[in-house]
Amino acid sequence: MAKKSVKNRNKNRNDLVSRFRSKRDDLRNAVSNITLSDKERWDAMLKLQKLPRDSSPSRRRNRCKLCGRPRAYNRLTGLCRLHMRSATISGMVPGMRKASW
């Protein structure tokens, strides 16, 4: 079980990413636009660097919805392998069942 502070920190990062997504996309497009002058592209790059560091999508981490575990995360269900196994055994995940042979 992850600490509450770590889960809250990741939640705040997700909020920042969603809040600054459009601004960050516009600035990134301006930096890579070759039709703009060098001065405009440079200013866009400086503005992009001045945005909050945690507003970058690469800084957030996928975590289990139940326990907050960052490793062995399953994108399909949003659960870690431990909770995925218990959910599969109890029949909560449609189309999945525990292998037995």
Q: What HEC string does the chain produce?
A: CCCHHHHHHHHHHHHHHHHHHHHHHHHHHHHHCCCCCHHHHHHHHHHHHHCCHHHCHHHCCCCCCCCCCCCCEECCCCEEHHHHHHHHHCCCCCCCCCCCC
Domain 62-101 maps to which CATH number in 3.40.50.2000, 3.40.1010.10, 3.40.50.800, 4.10.830.10?
4.10.830.10
Mean pLDDT, residues 66-86 taken together = 93
Predicted local distance difference test score (pLDDT) of residue 84: 92
* CATH fold for domain 1-61: Helix Hairpins (1.10.287)
Q: Is the pLDDT confidence value at 101 over 80?
A: no
Indicate the average pLDDT of the chain: 92
Predicted local distance difference test score (pLDDT) of residue 1: 82
Q: What is the pLDDT of residues 7-51, one digit of tens each?
A: 999 999 999 999 999 999 999 999 999 999 999 999 999 999 999
* Residue limits of CATH 4.10.830.10 in the chain: 62-101
* Residue limits of CATH 1.10.287.1480 in the chain: 1-61
